[in-house]
Amino acid sequence: MEKLEILVLSCDKYSDAWDDFFNLKEKFWPDCPYQWHVVTESKDYVRNKVDTIKCGNDLNWAGRLRKALHQIESPYVGLFLEDYFIKAPIDNEKIAGFVEMMEREQVTFLNLGDVFHYRLRQKNLERFSEHLVVIPQHLKYGIDTAAAIWDKAFLLSKLVGGGITARGSLKSTVATRRHQQKGLVANSFATRNCLSM
């Protein structure tokens, strides 16, 4: 069993973006060793090395995510939205290293995109390592589902109380600190995209 599987969170009405997403994924990450899944309501998607997780029409976005998480076996999950396109080559060793670091250091969330670039320019950042910054405790929407690696159990715990809003922002990271969990954001300097560091 791989330690990481990747979900592309979507819905039937955005299915027109799936080919564009995976065309770019194949261009910039052709040797990706991880299993990919498109999460949607009812549409099929046929593509090599991609499964479809159909969740039905009775669940909202967070409900579909919860159902999909229960259908994968890996302890860590990579999340993308269908319109969060990969724009540069991705290094398999770097992703594997992130997963190993998360397991070793009990990190529960690692943002890999450019969502927090403005936070990385602030003074008094708490650094986890040279390229990783701890997400501030007071940040109202401190973690999100766009281009991130999650500890699956931690993500499921955030979904239980409805903590995730539509399209994937989490309302608070206070519980993260209380439970000795670590949320990190990658500091990738000029590119602002950890996936291409």
Instruction: State the average pLDDT over residues 26-32.
Output: 96
pLDDT of residue 178: 32
- Confidence tier at 35 by pLDDT (50, 70, 90): very high
Question: What is the model's pLDDT at position 5?
Answer: 97
Strand pairing class (35-40; 4-9): parallel
Q: How confident is the model at residue 105 (pLDDT cuts 50, 70, 90)?
A: confident
pLDDT at 117: 59
Interatomic CA distance for residues 152 and 144, integer angstroms? 14
CATH no. for residue 97?
3.90.550.10
Q: Computed from CA positions of residues 159, 169, 5, 22, in that sequence, does the dihedral angle turn out positive or negative?
A: positive
Percent of the chain scoring above 90 in pLDDT:
47
pTM (two decimals): 0.80
Residue at token pair 């890999």: 112
d(CA 54, CA 97): 31
Number of domains in the chain: 1
Q: Between residues 195 and 130, which one has the greater pLDDT?
A: 130
Residues of the domain holding 42:
4-196
Beta carbons of 131 and 186 less than 8 angstroms apart = yes
**pLDDT of 71:** 96
Strands (E), 32-151: 35-40, 50-54, 76-81, 107-111, 127-129, 132-134, 148-151
The more confident residue out of 36 and 103 is 36
Q: Is the pLDDT of residue 16 over 60?
A: yes
The pLDDT, as a whole number, for residue 193 is 36
How many CB atoms within 10 Å of residue 34?
Answer: 19
pLDDT value for 82:
93
66-80, 124-138, 140-154: which is most confident: 66-80
